[in-house]
A and B are shown apart, each in its own frame.
Chain A
Amino acid sequence: MKRRGMQHSLAAHSAPSIEKIERRLFLRQGLSLGALALLSGCELTEDESVQKVLWAMSRWNDRAQAALFDPEKLAPEYPESAITRPFPFNAYYGEDEVRMVDAASYRLELSGLIRDAKPWTLPELYALPQTSQVTRHICVEGWSAIGKWSGVRFRVFLERIGADLAAKYVGFKCADDYYTSIDMATALHPQTLLTFRFADQILPPKYGFPMKLRMPTKLGFKNPKHIMAMFVTNTYPGGYWEDQGYNWFSGS
């Protein structure tokens, strides 16, 4: 009886320590699993079922980021003296292969959950109310640069075309075959601009002529250049890099 009482008191006394040990065990098991995954190298990560789990975890991560996203919080803006010169070029092809889009025949194609999906010419787009921002472009590769972009607030454009603002996604198709999509909350963010100018000049081809969607709240690869078509949808559209495993939400 005495012994039992002692055990009970010991157990009560050491409960926090046992909890600590269990927590350590939990972490250690997690680390062991990670190490096992590393040991087995590519074979494990290339496995289709593992890919599915990783993809599902990434989508869960997207939802967590979307829940934390504050649609009113602004990204820092900078004075023009802080602009990075020259601004870096980055794409999946070299600068000598930059897409040269013919301005005269250009029409921005619209589709999906949009009331007035007529195509837009460049003069029509340039006639929309314009605004500028000096913001930092943050690349997933680990570098960043400050630039000045000008264009129409994307929210204004979406309202003008009668886009369903309650839809989940806006997708983009680009002249270099690149494609990506964003969440509607980011599309409506006050700093999300459909830009036609860079450093007060018509957007040079290497920075995305005829237009680039600029979002200082997202990593660089989410900012599509050479946009040819856009659509509004409730079906998850993914994106080129996102479909290769990069995180879709990719807030910066």
Chain B
Amino acid sequence: MNRLHILLVIAMLAGAWLDARAAAEIAGSPTGDAAQTHGAAAESKPKILNPMRAKEPMSGEMKRDGMMKEDVRKQAMKKDAMMQDAMKKEEMKK
């Protein structure tokens, strides 16, 4: 194993460790009430004129087996709550 291999492995491990730390920080931040946040956002939302058959499996080739269309909405709500919290903190820092 030459020096290049060792350096590459060290760089990859260090990068992975830093990212794992960042992920833990994000995951550890309080998320608030997802449904409430989404509800507040929905008030100002423009009309969407047709429903989606949310309880059906997803289309397309990016999905994994078992993924449903409604999963996107659920994930979006969780993410929205998490980001709003994080962004509030950013604005307070300003």
Contact = CB atoms under 8 A, between A and B. Distances in A.
Interface of A: 19, 22-23, 26, 52-53, 55-57, 59-60, 63, 90-94, 97-102, 105-107, 109, 111-113, 119, 140-141, 171, 173, 175-179, 221, 228-229, 231, 233-238, 240-241, 243-244, 246
User: In the complex, which range does the number of interface residues on chain B fall in?
Assistant: 35 or more
Given A177-B73, A235-B26, A243-B79, A92 B20 contact: no
A135 to B, nearest CB: 21
Given A173-B76, A178-B72, A102 B12 contact: no
A63 B58 CA distance: 30
Contact of A55 (B12, B23, B63): B23
Interface string B44-75: 11111110110000111111100001001101
Interface of B: 1-2, 5, 12, 15-17, 19-20, 22-23, 26, 41, 44-50, 52-53, 58-64, 69, 72-73, 75-76, 79-80, 83, 86-87, 90-91, 94
A175 B48 contact: yes
B86 A233 contact: yes
B46 A173 contact: no
B17 A56 contact: yes
B46 A240 contact: no
Given A56-B16, A93-B58, A221-B62, A233 B47 contact: no
B48 to A, nearest CB: 5
A173 to B, nearest CB: 7
A165 B20 CA distance: 26
Contacts of B19: 55-57, 59-60
A228 B63 CA distance: 23
Given A91-B59, A141-B62, A100 B48 contact: yes
A90 B63 CA distance: 12
Nearest to A100: B49
B16 A228 contact: no
Contacts of A141: 60-62
A177 B48 CA distance: 11
Contacts of B83: 171, 231, 233, 235, 237
B76 A178 contact: yes
